[in-house]
Each structure stands twice: as C-alpha cells, then as structure tokens.
Structure 1
Amino acid sequence: MTNRRKFLKKGCMAAAASTAFTIPNIANASEKEQNVWRELPQIKDEEFLWDWVRSEYSVSTSVANLNNGGVSPQPKVVQEVLAHYTREFNTIPSMHMWSKGDISNSVREQLAELAGCSPEEIAVNRNTTEAINTVIWGMNYNKGDEIILTEQDYTSVMNTWEEAEARYGVVLKWLSFELPIEDDEEIVEAYTSAITDKTKLVMITHVNNLNGNIMPVKKITAAVKKVNPDIKVLVDGAHAFAHINFKISDLGCDYYGTSLHKWLCSPFGTGMLYIKKSEIKNLWPLFTHEDPQSDDINKFNTFGTRNLPAELSIARAIYFHNTIGSERKEARLRYLKDYWITRVSDIPNVEIKTSMKPEYACALGSFSLKNMSDGEVAQKLYKNYHVHLTHKGDKTGKFHGMRVTPHIYTSTKELDWLVKGIQNLAKVQ
C-alpha cells in the first residue's frame, strides 16, 4: 500500500506525451493557468490506474452513486479548469466572454478528433435534448411525412416527435422491441420493413437508456440508405459517446446528438451536435441566426450568452478521457457491469434485463425483483445499503427495471453494497 501511495503521489506526475493537450498560447499563460492545464500521468498498470482514477474524483464515500447515466461527476482536474475560467471571466465578463475564440475552436477540434469527423460538422451545445430538438425543429416537413422511431426511445425525444405530429401532421410509425434484444438481423429488418415512399427520417437510440441495449446503428443506417438514400437518420447518442469506442463518421448517420456531462464527464450542461456537412444548409437553426440557411456549422452555436467557462473545460475532460484511452475505458465499464450482474443473476426473484454479450451492452445494466416493486427497491437500496440508482420504464409499460450505471471511478466495493442489497431484498416475502 505504501509503495502504491508513493507511486500515485510521485510517479503520476510523469508526462503522458501521447495524450497531451496544449491550449493555444499556454506558453504565455500565467503559472497558475499552466498548472491547471498540467500534464496527466500515463499509467500502464491496471490496478494503479483505477486507484488513480478514483482519487481524481471528489465523489461521496458514504453513498455508492450508481446513477451516472443521469449525469456524471467531473474529475478534479476538470473542476479546476472550470473554476479557473469562472474566476477569470468574473473579473471583466463582457471582455472575456468573446475573447476566447482560439481556445473555443480548439475545443471543437478536440471533440471532432474524438468523434472522428470534421470540426466543421460539430456544434457545442448544452445536452442531447437540445441537439435532438435542433434537428427535429430544423427540418422542413410535408403533411404525411413518416418518422420511424421506437417505443423504447428516450421520453423527451418521443414527446418532441409527438408535438411535431400535432403541429405539422407528420406520421409517427412506432417500432417496439423486447429488451434485451440480441439479433442484428431482427433489429435491421424492423426498421427497413417500416419504410415506405413517405419515410422522411429514421430515429435510432444508440445505447438505450432503459437497459443499455447497444443498437447496430451502422447496419441500420446502411440498410435504410440502401432502400432510399434520401431518408435522413438521426441518432440519440446520449449514452454512447465516450462510453463505447466508436467514431460517429463510421455510422453513416446524418445527425448525432449527445450529452458531454454523462460519460465524458464534462461540466454540467455541455453537449454536442454532429451534422453531416452536406446536411447543414438544409437544417434551420433552433435559435435565429443572421444566415439561417448557410452551410456554416456556427449557425448552430448561436444561442446568446452561454456558459463559456464550462465549454472551455470540455477540453480537459477529453484529455482525461484520452489519458485512460477509449478502449481501456470501455473494457473497464463493461467489467463493472459484469461484476455485479454475475453475482446476482442466479438468485431467485432476480430478473436481469441486460445483455451479457459485449456487442449489446457495456456499463449500463438493468434488473428487477419479482417480489418487490421498482420504486420500493430503489428506496430500500438507498436507505439500507447506501446505493443510489434509479428505475426506468418504456412507453408501453412492457419494460421496467432498476437502472444501474457505474462509472470509471466506481469501486468493486461499492458494487458489493449493491450485490448485498439485491441478495437480501430478493429474500423478502
């Protein structure tokens, strides 16, 4: 233990050259600013790595937070950068608010590199809901245009489409999946069989918020475009980006929205919208712009005074993510999900509602108890076992369950609290 502490204290100051991020003009910055952008360690040893990661979060030690799918905490290094810019902006707000263009553009470049696309296709916003709404309200519709979506999509997304149905007369064609689903052919067939000559857009949830089901977005998109290349594909990536390892550009979709305050651990209220370059000019911005039909992605970045300190801090979250590495992070998250599920899956009264196949699930898992309602399970787990999580259900009422979302800072000891709670609650008559 002593050696490990020495390593974490001294060895962790080693440079991580392959993942280093340098903000513009950092060489001319003050010593204090250079310190908040200090290099992070590159650690090969897995045990040391996750000990270091845990130490980088200021999370509760008395409650196991297993609802990171709602919103995740930021590492201390992200909090430091956010605090720095918040203090700086508060000296002369109106001057600093519009003087950080070089850093802001650099953030977008970093995001584009992580997403595997051009910076000219990336707009920084506040969350997935705003990104999806930008696309839905930015399209031109004819009465009778058909939208394909599922009854297992996110609630606010379904609500927005239902409003579009009421306002513009579009037709919503609902698919419904029994979760978990582990058959790519069945999934793709469900989407393609719903296509008609009136299909305008296909909505896909990349990682389902109910049970973590990973959908084969690339296969769905390719199949849809094969039927009709003019059909647009919109992807809800709230639970996918910086969670599973992929590139948006490989998916073939036209639009992709995500929240950066979930799996990337950026400051609260930061998100991202991807729009394929060829589609930018055809989409109206959600907030008015001097040239709303231009092909400049910046028209989607115009929504008045914004929390720029939070946006600038996204770069620090990306650097922290890259220090770990996308593949290693995904593997750790899947390990944590498998850890708790394998310890409770054979218990009577426990129903596991998440796939154990790596291609269909990662960190996000779901379960229910046959002998207790979801609400009661959540209440007792928090009160008696200090475990915080949430319960979810779909539009049909067919699916319900406790959603468990550990993050990279989560310890197996905390998951043991969950396991113990499930074991005991499953025995209650």
Structure 2
Amino acid sequence: MPQTNLFFNQDHSYPELVDFPEIFSQRTKVIYLNVGSLAPRLAIVFDTLNIWNKYVEKYTPTSEVISSVIQPCENQLYGSIVRKIQNDTWEGSEYLRNSISNYIGIQKPENIVFLTNTSRAIEIVLEAIRPTYVVTTDHEHESQKQFFSIIKNRHNTQIMPVEVVKEKWKDDINESKESFTRRFIQEVIEDYSGRLEKEVFVVFLSHVCSSTGWVLPVEDICRKIKDHNPNITIVIDGAHAVGNIEVNISNLACDYYIFCGHKWLFGSPSLGILVFNNKNFKKNLIIAEEVHEFLALSPQFLDSAMKCHSIGSREISYFKNFKSTICLSPLISLTITLDEFHTDISREHIRNNMRSINEYLCRKISEIPEYIVYENVYFPSSPGIFILQYKTCRDQDTALSSLVTDLESKNIIVKKVLSPSLGYCIRICIPFYIRFNDLKRIYDAFYECRIPKTTIS
C-alpha cells in the first residue's frame, strides 16, 4: 500500500504526490519519460517471476528422466509433470482473463485472446477479415501504417486516412472533436454507403493517439457508425489508453479492442490483448483460426468452437493442436500488477499523481520562453502524455533530435515523434512514481537545453 508523502517547497509550488517507495527493486538514476519496453519494472513482478521459476524447476524432470523416456514408467512420470504445469498455466491464464475483465469492463472473459503484442493482434484481425476498405486516421502508430501498406499490396485493400485536425480549432476542444467526428462519420457513411453491402468495410481508430496523447471521441464515433450500419467492423487500438485513461469496453460499440500489458499497466513486454467485443461468433472464429499460440484462447472459447455446428473436423483438429507457445512471463507479470498494484485505491493514486505531475511540468516548462507546450490542444490530452516543441525553431526535426541526445546525457529519456498536425514534437510520458527531486531534475534539464541546435555534429 502506498504511503502519502506530501512534497512541497515553502511556497507550495510543488504538487501533492503519493509516494510509492517500495515498488522498484532499485532506484535508477535514469528518468524514463517514455512508456515502452525499457521502462522500469515493478519489484513485485521480478519477485513473482522468481517464485514461478523455482516452481517450474521443482517439477521439471532431471536430464536422467528425460533421457529415459523410452521406459514406460518414466515416460508416464514425464507426461504427468508436463500436464501438471500445463494445468496450472491454464488456470493462471483464466485468472488473468477475469482480472482484465474486472479492470476494463469486459462482460465475457473468454473473449480475451493473448498474443505477443498489439501489432501482432491487429495483424491477425485484419488478415483474417481481409477488408476491401479501411477507414482510419492520419495519427495511427507507425507499425499500423506499415501494416496498412502490407495489406494494401497483399489484398488490394484501400486505406483511407481521415485528418484528425483539418480546421484549426485549437482554442475550442469541443469544436475540434465535433469537426473530426463529423468528417470521420461522413467518410464512412456518406462517401462509401453504396459499397457497404457488398464490400468488407473496416473502421480502425486509436483510442489515444500515440504521438500526441490526444483522446479521440471513439465512443461517439462507434455508436453512430453502428447505428447506421451494424455490419461495419470497428477495430480500436487501445495501447496508450488502458491504464492511462478510464476504459470501459462494455460502453464501446466496437467489434475488437486491442491493447498491451507493458505501457501503462507496467507489466513485462511481449503481451498483446485482443478482446472480441461483439456477438458474431463465426467472425471471431475466423480470427481465432489465425491464432497459433498455446494459452492464447480460453478453454471456454475452445469448447464453444468445438461444439459449433458451423465448423468441421479440420477446424476441430486445428484447435486441439496449437503450433507454438506463448511466453508465460508477461502473463504472470500482468497478473501480479493487476492484483497487487492496480487495485481500486492504488489506481486512483496513480491517476492523481499523473494528473498532478502533468499539470506541474506543463506549467513549469511553459515558463521557459524557448518552448511551446501542447496540452489540451485540439483534443483533450490524456493525463499521462503531453508534447512540446521549440517555439521559434524552423528545423524542429534536427533541433529536437539534438534535444533528445542532450537529455539522454542527463539521464532523462524522451522520444521524438511526428504528428501530422503539429510536425515533429517531443513526447513526454508521465511516470506516476516520480518524486520531488525528479521534478527538479527534469525542469533543470529542459532549462539547460532551451537553446535549439539546428546542426548536429
């Protein structure tokens, strides 16, 4: 349980933060302002993985047993050991499905599919559906843009990106949201309404834009599209949403919601979560046939698949024989972070910290004349992300690349991103566990790097 330690200076200019003193195995000098695979991992994750490894070692047969599998008694022993570990991992994966369902409002835990990452899950969905048209935005993650190019060449899919920002409504967030929603709906409903009945049509949206942290009005867009035509397939990329903003999938009229376990949930990398958020079992079954990973699918889903009269013996045989295994470490780490860390109380502490730190850093860095900070510009910003640029620099690309390097030399990690609406920016991802000294270091580092360098030696 976190302890409340209030960090104030004498004039009360620093935010009130909840301290999480024991969550890391060690306090590193590096401050990660970038959510990714290299961000710090919770100490409880490492402790749990060590316990799991010792458990596996306890039940793993010795080399002598493995080498003598030709003997019936030893072969039987080996098989029983494998079955025990497999049964335990099946039970663990089902427990995690229930934890995820409680966290983000999934009505059927068996509709959760575990895969290696978000991009892999998106690839499986689109490859299985093989859409004729994909309406998306110009602010999608680079990996999705690359895959759009692949399916365009592979299946002759037409990719139609809608500009997130067209009119400059940055002083009126509601007007920006309404403008984008109106244009996106028009692209889907009006421009392609004549093709919907005979073509495979997919809408693909990010819940939170990875480059800017903007929260898009996906709930409103999904509802209006489904009201017009329920046969349109809607896929939502929630990689930067779950753990960053409040997500309740039961309120989203999408067919598939995809996110990961390591960005804002602080589990281990290499875990993508695909949620079947519809009642079209046949369509979900087509996608499930593309899944090759052991433990990826719930036993309840497999039972339903094998009892479904619409599938034949080939599909039943397929589901009984998985082609590969999924890595267990990310499953175990996400289970423990949801159980022990993302409790109702801690979740509120985490989000309050993120909001307070975000507000403080935006205000302080905005006071440095050479920077311009974008927060709640065009769209609402998520509490965990804001972006900035040099105010008067013409060559933002070069100057911000230099800024990234200079900040790294001060042990502060940020990422340069490209926003189609704003150009090159520095993205700041807010770590909830940050402390008073960290805030001072961040501000001092940005102040020392305030003069843009337009040439890199």
Structure 2 partner of 1:98: 86
The answer to whether the 8 Å contact 1:207/1:215 transfers is yes
1:69-84 counterparts in 2 under 5 A?
69=36, 72-84=39-51
1:4-403 counterparts in 2 under 5 A?
41=1, 45=4, 47=6, 52-58=19-25, 60-69=27-36, 72-93=39-60, 94-95=82-83, 97-100=85-88, 101-117=90-106, 118-141=108-131, 145-178=132-165, 182=173, 183-195=176-188, 196-197=192-193, 198=195, 200-282=201-283, 283-285=286-288, 286-288=290-292, 297-298=301-302, 304-319=324-339, 320-322=341-343, 324-355=345-376, 359-369=380-390, 370-371=392-393, 373-383=399-409, 385-394=410-419, 396=420, 399-403=423-427
Q: Where does structure 1 lack aligned partners over 5 or more consecutive residues?
A: 1-40
Structure 2 partner of 1:4: none
TM-score scaled by structure 1? 0.80
Q: CA deviation at 1:260?
A: 0.5
The answer to whether the 8 Å contact 1:150/1:177 transfers is yes
Indicate the larger mover: 279-288 or 221-230. 279-288
Q: How many residues align?
A: 381
The answer to whether the 8 Å contact 1:277/1:295 transfers is no
Structure 1 partner of 2:11: none
Indicate the larger mover: 326-335 or 295-304. 295-304
Q: Call closer, same or farther: CA 1:202–1:153 in 2, change over 3 Å.
A: same
Cα distance between partner residues in 2 of 1:280 and 1:360: 36
Q: Call closer, same or farther: CA 1:297–1:400 in 2, change over 3 Å.
A: farther
Q: CA deviation at 1:65?
A: 1.4
Q: CA deviation at 1:359?
A: 4.2
Q: CA deviation at 1:57?
A: 1.6
Structure 2 partner of 1:18: none
Q: Call closer, same or farther: CA 1:163–1:423 in 2, change over 3 Å.
A: same
Indicate the larger mover: 151-160 or 281-290. 281-290
Cα distance between partner residues in 1 of 2:141 and 2:323: 24
Q: CA deviation at 1:154?
A: 0.3
Cα distance between partner residues in 2 of 1:154 and 1:314: 23
The answer to whether the 8 Å contact 1:68/1:405 transfers is yes
The answer to whether the 8 Å contact 2:209/2:240 transfers is yes
The answer to whether the 8 Å contact 1:63/1:386 transfers is yes
Structure 2 partner of 1:419: 443
TM-score scaled by structure 2? 0.75
Cα distance between partner residues in 2 of 1:364 and 1:245: 14
Q: CA deviation at 1:309?
A: 3.9
Partner of 2:235, secondary structure, is strand
Instruction: Report the structure number with the largest CA radius of gyration.
Output: 2
The answer to whether the 8 Å contact 1:221/1:251 transfers is yes
Q: CA RMSD in A?
A: 3.1
Cα distance between partner residues in 2 of 1:116 and 1:397: 33
Q: CA deviation at 1:425?
A: 2.1
Q: CA deviation at 1:422?
A: 1.9
Cα distance between partner residues in 2 of 1:275 and 1:404: 32
Structure 2 partner of 1:10: none
Q: Call closer, same or farther: CA 1:275–1:53 in 2, change over 3 Å.
A: same
Q: Where does structure 2 lack aligned partners over 5 or more consecutive residues?
A: 8-15, 61-81, 306-318
Q: CA deviation at 1:387?
A: 1.0
Structure 2 partner of 1:9: none
The answer to whether the 8 Å contact 2:242/2:264 transfers is yes
The answer to whether the 8 Å contact 1:122/1:297 transfers is no
1:135-174 Cα shifts (integer Å, max 9, x gaps)? 1112144xxx221111210011111122111111121111
Q: CA deviation at 1:193?
A: 1.2
Q: CA deviation at 1:366?
A: 1.0
Structure 2 partner of 1:22: none
Cα distance between partner residues in 1 of 2:278 and 2:57: 36
Partner of 2:417, secondary structure, is strand
Q: Percent identity?
A: 19
